[in-house]
């Protein structure tokens, strides 16, 4: 486990066969249960997660993160799975969704659940009240930064919806994140990026241009 911020920890990199890289992230708030975002690729960090207090809740951003590790995380830590209701069939093939997510809301952990369909039909982002008042925006595969420094959406021809991704970027434009954490990332890039003041709108404009 790598500590990213005082309350945020990153599992080791997992390379999806013929696809991108990914990490999962453990948020350890001062009060309440630890929360795991995305999904680890294997169980090598389970002992590290346990040393940090385990996992009380597990949040997925979309169906591409579903796999055997969902049941493994729940089995080891007794966590409850929070995931998009719109992708219940695909995700439920690996583990039951304990808390289906539909509609924008702020839950009892202080996490804002923000549906951002476009990359996939149920893609969901999360705005998290992080350490020191910083806002962590978990974007899933909706928005990510490439190795050349450019910001792009996770548009996949024949799978994703451009209009939905444009709408998701419009939603992001109403937010003021200090940190963006994507689910997937490409070789040579990273998944965690601090957003310097005054730069966020430019990143979103760049992502919009890439959808044209």
Q: What are the residues whose beta carbons fall under 8 Å from the beta carbon of 196, sequence distance 6 or more?
A: none
CA gap 189, 55 in Å, rounded: 27
Per residue in 148-166, pLDDT (tens digit) is 889 999 999 999 999 999 9
The C-alpha atoms of residue 120 and residue 17 are separated, in whole angstroms, by 19
Enclosing domain of residue 13 = 2-211
Please count the other Cβ atoms lying within 10 Å of the Cβ belonging to residue 75: 11
CATH code, domain carrying 132: 3.60.15.10
What is the domain count for the chain? Answer: 1
> How much is the pTM?
0.95
The pLDDT tens digits of the residues spanning 94-152 come to: 999 999 999 999 999 999 999 999 999 999 999 999 999 999 999 999 999 988 889 99
Q: Does the structure show a pLDDT above 90 at 10? A: yes
Structure tokens at 203: 């990143």
Neighbouring-strand partners of residue 26? 9, 36
DSSP state, 63? G
β-sheet bridge partners, residue 114: 125
């Amino acid at each position: 486990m790598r500590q990213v911020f005082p309350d945020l920890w990153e599992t080791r990199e997992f390379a999806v066969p013929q696809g991108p890289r990914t990490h999962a992230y453990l948020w350890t708030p001062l009060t309440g249960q630890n929360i795991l975002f995305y999904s680890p690729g294997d169980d090598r960090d389970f002992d590290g997660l346990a040393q940090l207090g385990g996992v009380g809740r597990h949040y997925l951003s979309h169906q591409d993160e579903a796999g055997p590790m969902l049941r493994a995380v729940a089995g080891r830590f007794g966590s409850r799975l929070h995931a998009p209701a719109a992708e219940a069939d695909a995700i439920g093939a690996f583990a039951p969704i304990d808390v289906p997510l539909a509609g924008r809301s702020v839950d009892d952990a202080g996490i804002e659940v923000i549906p951002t369909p476009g990359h996939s039909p149920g893609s969901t982002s999360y705005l998290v009240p992080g350490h020191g008042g910083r806002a962590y925006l978990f974007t899933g595969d909706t928005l990510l930064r490439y190795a050349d420094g450019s910001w792009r959406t996770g548009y996949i021809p024949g799978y994703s919806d451009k209009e939905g991704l444009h709408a998701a970027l419009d939603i992001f434009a109403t937010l003021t994140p200090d940190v963006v954490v994507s689910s997937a990332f490409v070789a040579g890039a990273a998944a965690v990026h601090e957003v310097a003041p005054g730069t966020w709108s430019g990143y979103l404009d760049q992502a919009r241009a890439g959808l044209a």
